[in-house]
Amino acid sequence: MKLLSTLAALTLITAAGTAHAADPNAGRNLAATCANCHGTNGHAIAGSGLDALAGVEKTKTLQKLADFKSGVKPASIMHQIAKGYTDEQLDLIATYFAAQK
């Protein structure tokens, strides 16, 4: 019985991890929080003074996010926001914005 319980628990854990990784909308859903400042789908409002994120090369976005997260790049709020995401989540966000036109 104990073996069956352990096996069931491991199966659920594996399935949960696979389901999360397979979510095709994960990047979009995470990136939605950026819309408040950077515009819908990363299209910043002209004259807002904020960077557009749509179409920016993934590595460039990831570097900026890493700099905010580490505190190297000063910011009023981005350093706090970036610290709230894992590196995997930041990668999904950067991938999503790089694909936007």
Domain covering 25-98 assigned CATH 3.90.550.10 in the classification: no
Helix H or strand E segment including 83: helix 78-83
C-alpha separations of 15 from 7, 26, 29, 31, 51 in Å: 12, 16, 21, 24, 38
Show Cβ contacts of residue 67 under 8 Å, excluding neighbours closer than 6 positions.
73
pTM across the whole model = 0.76
The string of pLDDT tens digits covering residues 8-32 is 444 545 555 555 557 999 999 999 9
How far, in whole angstroms, is CA 83 from its chain's centroid?
Answer: 11
The string of pLDDT tens digits covering residues 88-98 is 999 999 999 99
What span, in angstroms and rounded, lies between the C-alpha atoms of 17 and 12? 9
